[in-house]
Amino acid sequence: MRLATWNINSVRARVDRAVAFLERTGTDVLALQETKCADAQFPVAPFEAAGYEVAHVGVNQWNGVAVVSRVSLDDVETSFPGQPAFGEKVEARALGATCGGVRVWSLYVPHGREVGDPHYAYKLRWLDELRGRAEGWLADDPAAQVALVGDWNVAPLDTDVWDVAYFAGKTHVTPAERDAFAAFGAAGYTEVTREALPAEHTYTYWDYQRLRFPRNEGMRIDFAYLSPAARARVTGVTIDRDERKGKGASDHVPVVVDLED
């Protein structure tokens, strides 16, 4: 099974690229983040025409996550149990579905905005609650096949940003965020892209401004944490850097994980 995660940065603007990616790569399951649309606005038809089922949660032009699958799409949850709210709303940032026997969670972790901002505290609560739930899933079933994939909005290592000095005092690189990210490893999960791909200058996101992509001034913030049973099936990982090229590209690229049958 080929599983990919991609912050699409508006699925309506990039549905043709998404379907072309699926067909070109033979991806079976695609987790999407930042779809930026309500459920009724999601372009389901092109995915169905390509042979995929769609599960999506979104309420407006912000956030939104989806799972697209051609190997079954069952037991859909549009938030994880205990998912924190920001203000009075539980945002559209997590969607779980069982696809080909793997419990896939498409995750769009809160950005945090600025250190000290209420959104930063919300981000840390969000990650901590997810970690607790993920740990519980393994406690309930150590053989569970779980994939926590998406845009984590954390750069765990200094080499995951193009210039760590530029990010001093900013979100994504603070010790608290990095500790919250690392806690998933302590909970029994393995971030499999780190095992397969080099750490230095391997990015998944480049800002649209200031020629960041041509200069390779990027960030590595899209990851795949897998449970032990799912990790044992991994045969390869790739980052599809070419998807950042050309007209109408997202500012993120797909991260692809291959699992043996």
Catalytic residue flag (residue 252)? yes
Q: Decide: 192 and 147 in contact? Cβ < 8 Å.
A: no
* 7 annotated among ligand-binding-site residues: yes
Catalytic residue flag (residue 189)? no
* 172 annotated among ligand-binding-site residues: no
Q: How far apart are CA 120 and CA 232, in angstroms?
A: 34
* 243 annotated among ligand-binding-site residues: no
Q: DSSP H helical segments within the chain, as ranges? A: 11-25, 44-49, 118-140, 175-186, 192-196, 228-231
Of 28, 151, 160, 222, catalytic: 151
* 251 annotated among ligand-binding-site residues: yes
H or E element, residue 5 = strand 2-7
* 240 annotated among ligand-binding-site residues: no
Catalytic residue flag (residue 151)? yes
Token pair of 125, please?
A: 């609560």
Of 28, 56, 120, 252, catalytic: 252
Determine how β-strand 146-151 pairs with β-strand 102-108: parallel
Of 52, 108, 189, 205, catalytic: 108
* 114 annotated among ligand-binding-site residues: no
Q: Decide: 32 and 68 in contact? Cβ < 8 Å.
A: yes
241: left (phi over 0), alpha (psi -120 to 50) or beta: alpha
Binding residues for Mg(2+): 7, 34, 151, 153, 251-252
Binding residues: 7, 34, 151, 153, 251-252
Q: Which residues are catalytic?
A: 108, 151, 252
